[in-house]
Chains A and B, each alone.
Chain A
């Protein structure tokens, strides 16, 4: 019984120590108030971001010259892609190294905007080099026509298969 009392006393002692407050407490209300202000500034900065993105598109990639390349994985595909090189009319315009997170996002249906740039109206050749596991690579090419509006090209990738390249291009 004596021991039990000691334990209880020790517990009380610990509680007393724990209860000893400090000089400057942070209240729930303060945390909540500040959190709401942070949410407001997030909304403001998001609005600025949207405005800047539209300004950037208008200024740097006007629709009469704009071309954008989007990469996605075919549904259900899961393969390791290390990097992608893109050339338009023989000139390398993009080289992208993939992170694990990006590959997961592609696997789950995300679409990556790989490149946005400018080309003249008319026919252009797009060449793609996919660098995969163990440094192996495969190439695919596509011809697209640039007209007055923005040209979007979707590149749908599948795991390499026997006798087929399994890269689909879709002009949008």
Chain B
């Protein structure tokens, strides 16, 4: 593990992979690393991590890893695993990796980048003190590519730790910076409020509420700044100013309902009940599950009542009561539906996982009415992380289930191979052993020839290169010599002279042709070597195939048993965790519904009283009118 972290340090500068928001884009020359990126870029982090883990573990098992081309990108691979783990929400492991980098012997740039990543992890995990500790470890030059993000994160961390003055100092510098304009401005406004500088905060939010830009994030932050400022002024009993900001919020978008509601209340606060009816009449026609819409159902008749239109007010209170009644039925049905597990089932639907705007899509599904009410809950960090965990657990459950089937299939394959090979192999081995001893003998002979030839280069032995005919002739001559050795007759003398001549001729040939014969012998040996190499190749091929045959069914039993146990244990654990995580999500949802139910019940009480009062007033007003006529 330590080795892995150390390797990680070497690289980061070159890899440029500590990217803040997305996994580093692959410029991967290594195929396996590229394959991991292929999965990571599709959001399939489990597959990306597990593929890289395999590559890294195989690499570390090599005797000479430096000879493997993978070592060039080792650091990038090590970093990428940490990066993917972060995206797979394995913050503990990713956090440990970052810490190891920070505490390692690395350049300030790499340490600072790692500290930034660690701080981000803690900030996102709502651990402000740890985030502060991590960001304060940054010293010296920060890599340019994360410099602005680091400053913005630092300001956010200062804010959640109550160091508003420090946050203000950074955000003031950043408020006009491209890419941060609206966000830095909004945060600056909030920091100023929290610092107690009300006036400066208002001025800043006013500025953030007018920031230029047509893209959705800029428009959204602009709306948010105006909405927050509007409500703040409403609370400060400055309705005229509040209305001005609330009216800046777009009529569409996530903040529009609340802005219309606030705008109406600002008019009411100014006593302009007729004008309050304008935004509320728009709002009241919107989705009745929205809290602002429900509040406007009370607001509209309230304004009519204030305009002395009590009959109209009474009717509208009645309509509101009816709507609240329907909503209560739906809320109760939704609670029941959640308790029956329908909500959890909807959350793991495949189409939901495929879509970025899943929360919106979920609201559109006809058979999941319970999700209509949960937009606020679904947007919360706690719910999001719980939901992602639940979805991840579901994914793990499916994988583990599939793996159990894989293991069954592997066992069947092994058994089939065993049945096929076991009867064949003994006979094959017997024939191979016989062939093997012949091959070995021939190879020894070839080696002996090569040794003799090598020796002849130093001390020439022409007799070794005599042909077979010459050897036979020499043997015959030796026999004749022996025959005439003790014969002193004249014919014997003549025969000995002839024998010596013949012997001389053969020796002449052998000695004068020695060089050519030596060369020819070398050529023949080389030709033999080719045949020997081919034989060796066939031999090695056979050995490999023979080994592969054995390895195809032997030595798996223990591993399969062990893996099966691990899969089963993990499945049990996943099931337990899924049940607990699911229960937690359901509890969150039911809590949200119960708050809704209580609010609607309170609205009902208020509407009933207000309706009764409006009827009374309408009756009195009618009576008054009749009396006046009489």
Could you list which residues of chain A lie within 8 angstroms of chain B, going by C-beta atoms? 3-4, 6-8, 10-11, 13-14, 17-18, 20, 22-26, 28, 30-32, 34-56, 58-60, 62, 64-65, 70, 72, 75, 101-102, 104-106, 108-113, 121, 148, 152, 154, 172
For B578-601 the 0/1 string (1 means CB < 8 A from A) is: 001100100110110011001100
Question: CB distance B410 to A55 under 8 Å?
Answer: yes
Instruction: Evaluate contact between B588 and A26: CB separation under 8 angstroms.
Output: yes
Give complex CA distance A51, B565 in Å.
Answer: 13
Question: B residues within 8 A CB of A109?
Answer: 25-28, 34, 37
Contact-residue size bin, chain B (C-beta under 8 Å from the other chain): 35 or more
Contacts beyond the supplied A26-B382, A55-B563, A105-B41: 19 A-B pairs with Cβ under 8 Å: A7-B234, A8-B235, A13-B606, A17-B598, A34-B389, A34-B581, A35-B386, A39-B90, A45-B400, A49-B403, A62-B552, A64-B548, A102-B42, A104-B42, A105-B42, A108-B41, A110-B38, A111-B33, A148-B540
User: Does residue B535 face the partner (Cβ distance < 8 Å to A)?
Assistant: no
The CA-CA distance from A70 to B29 in the complex, in Å, is 12
Do A110 and B268 have beta carbons less than 8 Å apart? no
B interface, over-half SS = helix
Q: Once the chains bind, are A14 and B295 in contact (CB under 8 Å)?
A: yes
- Interface positions, chain B 394-444, Cβ under 8 Å from A, are 396, 399-400, 403, 406, 410, 413-414
Secondary structure type dominating chain A contacts:
helix
Q: How far is the CB of B584 from chain A (nearest CB, A)?
A: 6
The 9 closest A-B pairs by CB, nearest first: A111-B34, A110-B38, A109-B26, A105-B41, A49-B50, A22-B591, A22-B594, A17-B599, A101-B42
Q: In angstroms, how far is the closest chain B Cβ from the Cβ of A79?
A: 17
**Are B41 and A53 neighbours in the complex by a CB distance under 8 Å?**
no
Residues of B within 8 A of A72 (CB): 34
Instruction: Please give the residue numbers on chain B whose beta carbons come within 8 Å of chain A beta carbons, in ascending order.
Output: 25-28, 31, 33-35, 37-43, 46, 49-51, 53-54, 57-58, 88-93, 125-126, 234-235, 237, 239, 265, 268-271, 295, 382, 385-386, 389, 392-393, 396, 399-400, 403, 406, 410, 413-414, 540-541, 544-545, 548, 551-552, 556, 559-560, 563, 566-567, 570, 573-574, 577, 580-581, 584, 587-588, 590-591, 594-595, 598-599, 602, 606
Q: Does B559 lie within 8 Å of A55, measured CB to CB?
A: yes
Q: How far is the CA of A54 from the CA of B385 in the complex (A)?
A: 32
Asked if A48 contacts B566 (CB within 8 A), the reply is yes
In the assembled complex, the CB of A118 is this many whole angstroms from the nearest CB of chain B, namely: 11
A3-B270, A26-B588, A104-B41 given; A121·B541 CB < 8 A: yes
Question: Within 8 Å CB of B414, what residues of A?
Answer: 59
For the complex, what is the distance from the CA of A39 to the CA of B388, rounded to whole Å? 12
Are the CB atoms of B577 and A38 closer together than 8 Å? yes
In the assembled complex, the Cα of A43 lies from the Cα of B81 at a distance in Å of 12
> Residues of A contacting B239 with CB < 8 Å?
4, 7
Chain A nearest CB: distance from B616 CB in Å? 19
Interchain nearest-CB distance for A150 vs B (Å):
11
A110 to B34, Cβ gap below 8 A?
yes
Q: Is the CB of A11 within 8 A of B235?
A: yes
Q: Which residues of A contact B563 (CB under 8 A)?
A: 48, 51-52, 55
Contacts of B551 in A (CB 8 A): 58, 62
Q: Please state if B406 and A105 are interface contacts (CB–CB under 8 Å).
A: no
Minimum CB–CB distance for B3 against chain A, Å: 17
A-B contact list, 5 entries, CB within 8 Å: A17-B602, A42-B88, A51-B563, A62-B551, A108-B41
CA–CA, A59 to B577, complex, Å? Answer: 32
Specify which of A28, A42, A51, A104 lies most central, judged by the most chain B CB atoms within 10 Å of its CB: A42
Q: CA–CA, A112 to B36, complex, Å? A: 9
Q: Which residue of A lies closest to B26 (CB)?
A: A109
Contact A45 B396 (CB under 8 A): yes
Q: With A41-B573, A62-B552 in contact, do A52 and B406 touch (Cβ < 8 Å)? A: yes
Residues of B within 8 A of A17 (CB): 595, 598-599, 602
A59 close to B413 (CB less than 8 A): yes
Q: Are B34 and A70 in contact (CB under 8 A)?
A: yes
Q: Which of A38, A40, A60, A65 contacts B581 (CB 8 A)?
A: A38
Determine which residue in A39, A75, A102 has the highest number of CB atoms from chain B within 10 A of its CB, and name it: A39
